[in-house]
Chains A and B, each alone.
Chain A
Amino acid sequence: MDIRKTFLEWPVVRQLTGSDPLGRGAAVQSKRSRSLEPRTTTADRMVQSVCPYCAVGCGQRVFVRDERVVQIEGDPDSPISRGRLCPKGSASEQLVNSPRRATTMLYRRPRSTSWERIGVEQATDMIADRMVESRRKRWQDTDEHGRPLRRTMGIASLGGATLDNEENYLIKKLFTALGAIQIENQARI
């Protein structure tokens, strides 16, 4: 360590020797204050996104460092939002990183009083089994006049208004091919 340099960094020395004799500004600026950098510039990358809340569709900039989202703010390039966000949009980083967010697959057995943990793969297998079974059990080939129905009434779904178009597309495609028709979303609520 350069002792002389360190000494010169002491606020009182800077104060006495610099242009801030009262020690109110430059002289007392701490090392951290001097080296402060916003995480918008220290981020590894910035990714353009869209706010997930209402349907105004405000532009968002997502800043990532070490594969973690460190900041989400308005995208000034967006002609709709011009960089602005409402309180919900401004809380998007917390939506993503909240410690309260559920990130664990959970399973509740019939009549159980608590959750238990299972793997996503296992859970998906269990649901595939149940889909096949419920589909078969509640299958309707024709109506009472013998007209083709080709459907199952055993499986229903609700949701989609917060999902991507591509997701809705696969959901509708899969369920329709399975013959499940009771597919709904927020647009009716």
Chain B
Amino acid sequence: MGASFGRGGATGFLQDLEKADCIVIQGSNMAECHPVGFQWVMEAKARGARVIHIDPRFSRTSAQADTYIPIRAGSDIVFLGAVINYILSNDKYFHEYVVAYTNAATLVSEDFKDVDELDGVFSGYDPETGTYDTSSWAYDGVSDHPQGDAGGQGAESEESASERAAGHELGGHGAALEHAEVKRDETLQHPRTVFQVLKRHYARYTPEMVQEVCGIAPEQLLDVCEAVTANSGRERTTCWVYSVGWTHHTTGVQGIRGSAIIQLLLGNMGRPGGGIMALRGHASIQGSTDIPTLFNLLPGYLPMPKVGPHDSLDEYLKEIASPDQKGFWTNARTYTVNLLKAWWGDAATAENDFAFHYIPKLTGDHGTYATVMSMLDDEIDGYFLLGQNPAVGSAHGRMQRLGMAHLKWLVVRDLNLIESATFWKDGPEIETGELRTEDIDTEVFFFPAASHVEKDGTFTQTQRMLQWHHKAVEPPGDAQSDLAFFYLLGQKIRDRLAGSTDERDRPILDLTWDYPVDEHGDPSAEAVLREINGVHLTGEKAGQALNTFNEMKDDGSTAGGCWIYTGVFADGVNQAARRKPGREQNWVAPEWGWAWPLNRRILYNRAAADPDGKPWSERKAYVWWDEVEQKWVGHDVPDFEVAKPPSYRPPEGASGPAALSGDDPFIMQADGKGWLYAPTGLLDGPMPAHYEPHESPVTNPLYNQQANPTRQVFPRPDNPSNPSNGERGAEIFPYVFTTYRLTEHHTAGGMSRWLPYLSELQPEFFCEVSPELARERGLVHNGWATIVTARTAIEARVMVTDRVVPLPVGGKLIHQVGLPYHWGVGNEALVTGDSANDLFGVTLDANVHIQESKVASCDVQPGRRPRGPELLEFVADYRRRAGITLETGNKLRYPHSDATTGADTDGQGEGTP
């Protein structure tokens, strides 16, 4: 999303769904995973909106949709591409919006070559490293942009490995451009305009291709195309809803990009009832990216510095945001300096670059899966698990558990004794004999955690809104909040290092670590929120909270821990604690909680008005230019400089906010436009192209390139991959499986499998199969099935249901198996069972290092799995039969490099197209 519009996170708010005329839910099971949010879909439906659900499984969402279309897991980009193709081929795009607000008219470099020309990869691909030199994707005349130069010769450099996380960095701003002077052809006719490039790129995404790849009939595709185009334009808007059904793929970011292109072409961004609703699964998962507990980010989407290009503050700032580009991201220096001042106070001075050198530097991928592999190599001593249960919730559970057995010490902080806390005595590897409790050296500390009612604080929910929850009671027994624990831990560490003259201890000793405490010694969450918001340090306002990030200075006279959250303490008041009842406000409800940035509820809402500042229609009026008052007004806080008239045109040579025209609604973008085509910022292509999942029983018919050529593979003996179609042994794993959640449970079960009221509703792990697959494999309803991949085999009760439909794909019938992933093996929970995530290996998306855990291939057999060491032998036998080696599935440029292969060795007959 950041790459398309300039900010991550949902572009609107849940209540606004009721204003939509059409809602497409794709890659999300909203009714089950967000039931209370789904009330707004039901409201829209009651008002006559069309609701379309596109998903591999017929779920409780499908049951309420007007239209349900089953799709093969991992083929969404083909479907979206065909919708784009339909829009472009039939001139169904919102012409005025597209020309004014997107980069459709911008010219792309002559050096750019599309996947069609290069047989499955974009220009700049290096088959040796599996990465792109993205410089050829640039706009015409903006050749040598600073970011995205991820390629290089020889082995993948450490810097480029860190770059892989770039997608996440675009949560608060768009990618950098050297400058904003681009060539445009507003007739959209020049062959190198983004518009024409797009048109050519999606020409092969035809209804026939959708049928071939997704298993969706042309009439079903046409139905959706007509619905979304008929419900877009001046008078009507369509909203797209997605969640992890899209992100958990090796092409995850590009799936979201696909819907972004559609929504820009149809003119649905920044408007009521439009936008892209990203539904997040955890109470504060948006907050934990905004204020990141992520390796590659600092608060407010400032990137963590990388060794080399970011050795000094100036170098860092020069690279993350060119001072010559448009928009607010040119103020990155201010935001960085304020963070440094918040953390290191008086020790951060202009003379020492505000202690920028205190920040540790990255040298590559330090993500969670890389970390687990480091554990297995005995490179990590200590590990904290904070409300997270990777033994069940992370891909490749066996690798997670074995990794933890290599630790010296493990800290688990949770409400319940989760499987990750007890793996050393009741994990699956104890049963198989791979681990013996008496041999595991890991010290384990289990700290009971405080629940949400036992502490003050804010969650940032799915629509970027911070809501304060008040402490109601004291935590029971030994339980304490993470705030109290980390505050105390920090003090204890500082005590131990006090008086140290070692330079390496300066950052911890100089750290501002002094918060007011209550009678129990617990730090004040409100004081922390105030630090996050920021304060004036000097001058007559010294000590007062900042009202907006525009008050931040880059000279050290202000400090603020997360610039996008500045304003949450505006006027010295905790705005997140505001609770003016919804019924006393309009549907935007601006006085309930506080949303970043600056309490704007629909982002890019300048686009709700036409270039002249008038609403596109009365029906969809939202924010508009008031000629009398000479400012932007409306139902929401304008996401625009409030006094900048629509007619404003920047003077020559302008940069930063001043360079934004009165009709540049995407104010965090380097050119002020919505990006149909991403000239920079992404690592796997400027436009979404379909690649098959890492493990697939289907050959990619679109390109001579099976899977995403930039996906991050880990060819290790403990991480084998199933062969995909076209590889030897693919027939051993003929089925596709996908994982999902149920309403009755929460993720890895830490907050649901211990509760009788939830556990009784879904007591056992089951697999959903079609009657056809049940017949084919002899599966009995309510009996047992064993599901096998190259990693392991798990057992599940069988649910034979018409809700699962085999799809005709690639000339055969593809069976999909649905697996809810809430259960885990252990002795503490009320209900336990094998964990679906144990089936996955580790293969990651190039942009954000998210694992592909929504789709893989498998075999299914009737009956229960073997127990103990026999299980290992059972799976090893599968690997032998499939001929799996380290190379299997892990070749990046494939089958191109050995394209001479006309047919497969085992007579599969699919060959390569």
Contacts and interface: CB of A to CB of B under 8 A. Distances in A.
A171 interface: yes
- Which of B358, B507, B755, B851 counts the most chain A CB atoms within 10 A? B755
Interface stretch (A5-13, A15-23, A29-37, A54-62): A54-62
Contacts of B486: 167, 170-171, 174
Nearest to A157: B384
A164 B478 contact: no
A165 B460 contact: yes
Contact of B382 (A150, A155, A172): A155
Interface stretch (B48-56, B253-261, B388-396, B673-681): B388-396
Interface stretch (B101-109, B440-448, B545-553, B884-892): B440-448
A181 B444 CA distance: 22
A186 B493 contact: no
B199 interface: no
Given A52-B283, A126-B445, A184-B294, A158 B357 contact: no
B121 interface: no
Contacts of A2: none
Contacts of B482: 163-164, 167, 170-171
A79 B562 contact: no
Contact of A165 (B290, B298, B411, B478): B290
Given A57-B459, A57-B461, A132-B497, A87 B758 contact: yes
B288 A103 contact: no
A182 interface: yes
A112 B830 CA distance: 25
A60 B895 CA distance: 54
A55 B281 contact: yes
Interface string A141-173: 101000111111111111111111111111111
A4 interface: no
B452 A181 contact: no
A183 to B, nearest CB: 5
A104 B448 contact: yes
B520 interface: no
B758 A91 contact: yes
A158 B507 CA distance: 22
B879 interface: no
A87 B744 contact: yes
Given A159-B386, A169-B291, A189-B850, A131 B453 contact: no
Interface stretch (B19-27, B70-78, B578-586, B786-794): B578-586
Contacts of A119: 478
Given A50-B469, A107-B445, A134-B408, A165 B367 contact: no
A151 B293 CA distance: 16
B280 interface: yes
B79 to A, nearest CB: 26
B190 interface: no
Contacts of A185: 285, 288, 292-294, 386, 388
A24 interface: no
Contacts of A62: 453, 470, 472
B849 A131 contact: no
A176 to B, nearest CB: 6
Nearest to A47: B472
- Which of B357, B395, B585, B756 counts the most chain A CB atoms within 10 A? B756
A163 B459 CA distance: 7
B285 A182 contact: no
Nearest to B34: A56
Given A137-B381, A155-B380, A188-B849, A177 B458 contact: no
Contacts of B293: 157, 159-160, 163, 168, 171-172, 183-185
A146 to B, nearest CB: 10
B627 to A, nearest CB: 31
A106 B489 CA distance: 17
B598 interface: no
Contacts of B761: 87
Contacts of A48: 469-470, 579
B867 interface: no
B39 interface: yes
Interface in A87-133: 87-92, 94-96, 98, 100-115, 119-120, 123-133
Contacts of A158: 368, 371, 383-386, 388, 390
B383 A157 contact: yes
Contact of A107 (B362, B388, B446, B466): B446
B25 to A, nearest CB: 15
A5 B667 CA distance: 78
A155 B381 CA distance: 6
Contact of A156 (B168, B384, B446): B384
A176 B414 contact: no
B362 A181 contact: yes
A40 interface: no
A103 B370 CA distance: 32
A77 B662 CA distance: 38
21 contacts: A49-B470, A52-B451, A53-B751, A57-B459, A67-B474, A77-B582, A79-B589, A79-B592, A80-B589, A95-B415, A127-B382, A132-B496, A134-B409, A154-B382, A156-B374, A158-B368, A159-B413, A163-B293, A169-B528, A170-B482, A187-B289
Q: Which 10 A-B pairs have the closest CB atoms?
A: A79-B582, A57-B461, A159-B386, A164-B457, A103-B477, A151-B360, A160-B293, A79-B589, A161-B282, A159-B388
Given A164-B469, A171-B293, 9 more contacts: A51-B452, A55-B462, A102-B448, A130-B382, A149-B307, A157-B383, A161-B283, A164-B284, A178-B493
